[in-house]
Amino acid sequence: MTQHVLEQKLTRQEQQALRNRRTGLAIFQLSWIMTFVCLIIVNFTMRGGSPTWPPEGVTVGKIIPTLMTLALIGSSVFIRRGTKALKADNIAGFTTNWRYGLALGGLFAVVMAIEFIRAPGSGQFLNVYRLMIGFHHVHAMAIGYYLIRVYQNGRRGVYSATDFWPVEGGTSLWDFVTVAWVLFYVVLYII
């Protein structure tokens, strides 16, 4: 079913409540976007004041972060597929896809925590590198915990094709985590 058809099944009051929740989430995410953009600006400002970035003698590995970025993108794809399955009243499809999404997201979180600990360099480079990875990691862990709770509730049959806001909200938050990381990945490892 399309989003529009699903919303037509809701009462007028339920439709308004859903719009209000979506608007609130959008405002919340805009505030996060500003924080993530500020961290990117801090990175670029420190780079501009440094003769070389990363400093001479510091090598930043790209293979593991690239693989973990792909894992996080895959996680987001599975979470989104699970949400579509739920909206089609396919609970088994929802739980299966969310399980895969959570597994890939968990792998990302564990490996990037190790990357945080093993971060190369010292001084300003190390500080901004760890700040960006750590800030993202905290957000990923908090939203990951929320996704686990949604998954547990979904397995118990709490959600349906017409009662799905916690799932939709979680999906939107996880997509945000993915997009924010892709931006950080580009800034930290590509540029």
**In this predicted model, what pLDDT tens digit does every residue of 79-129 receive, in sequence order?**
999 999 999 999 999 999 999 999 999 999 999 999 999 998 888 899 999
Instruction: Provide the mean pLDDT of the chain.
Output: 91
CATH no. of 3-190:
1.20.120.80
- pTM as predicted: 0.87
Q: Which are the contacts of 55, defined by CB distance < 8 A and separation ≥ 6? A: 121, 123, 125
